[in-house]
Copies of this chain bind each other. A is one copy, B any other.
Amino acid sequence: MKHNFGAGPGILPHEVLKQSAEAVLDLNGTGLSLLEISHRSPEFEAVLNEAVSLVKELLNVPEGYSVLFLQGGASLQFAMVPYNLLPQDKKAAYLETGVWANKAIKEAKFFGTPVVVATDKENNFKQIPKNYEVPSDAVYFHVTSNNTIYGTQLHEFPKSEVPMVCDMSSDIFSREINVADFGLIYAGAQKNMGPAGATLVIVKNDLLGKAERQIPSMLNYQMHIDNGSMYNTPPVFAIYVSMLTLRWIKAKGGVAAIAKANEAKAKLLYEEIDRNPLFKGVCVPEDRSVMNVCFVMEKPELEKPFLKFAEERGLVGIKGHRSAGGFRASIYNALPISSIQALVEVMQEFAEKNK
Q: Name the interface residues of A72-101: CB closer than 8 Å to any CB of B.
A: 72-76, 78-79, 83
B9 contacts A233, CB within 8 Å? Answer: yes
B25 contacts A233, CB within 8 Å? Answer: no
B197 contacts A238, CB within 8 Å? Answer: yes
Known A-B contacts A32-B4, A196-B237, A234-B196; the reply to A218 vs B39 at CB < 8 A is: no
- A178 an interface residue at 8 Å Cβ cutoff? no
- Least CB distance, A122 to chain B, in whole angstroms: 25
- Least CB distance, A162 to chain B, in whole angstroms: 23
- A229 an interface residue at 8 Å Cβ cutoff? no
- A12 an interface residue at 8 Å Cβ cutoff? yes
- How many residues belonging to A are interface residues under a CB distance threshold of 8 Å? 63
Q: Name the interface residues of A176-208: CB closer than 8 Å to any CB of B.
A: 188, 190, 194-197
Known A-B contacts A25-B17, A31-B1, A79-B219; the reply to A233 vs B188 at CB < 8 A is: yes
Known A-B contacts A2-B31, A197-B235, A238-B235; the reply to A72 vs B75 at CB < 8 A is: no
- A217 an interface residue at 8 Å Cβ cutoff? yes
Known A-B contacts A17-B24, A107-B217, A214-B110; the reply to A75 vs B37 at CB < 8 A is: no
A71 contacts B195, CB within 8 Å? Answer: no
Known A-B contacts A197-B197, A216-B107, A235-B196; the reply to A9 vs B79 at CB < 8 A is: no
Q: Name the interface residues of A241-257: CB closer than 8 Å to any CB of B.
A: 241
Per the bound structure, the CA–CA distance linking A37 and B316 in Å amounts to 10
* Of the residues B8, B37, B218, contact of A72 by C-beta under 8 Å: B218
Write out the residue numbers on chain B whose beta carbons fall within 8 Å of the beta carbon of A304: none
A217 contacts B9, CB within 8 Å? Answer: no
- A236 an interface residue at 8 Å Cβ cutoff? yes
- A338 an interface residue at 8 Å Cβ cutoff? no
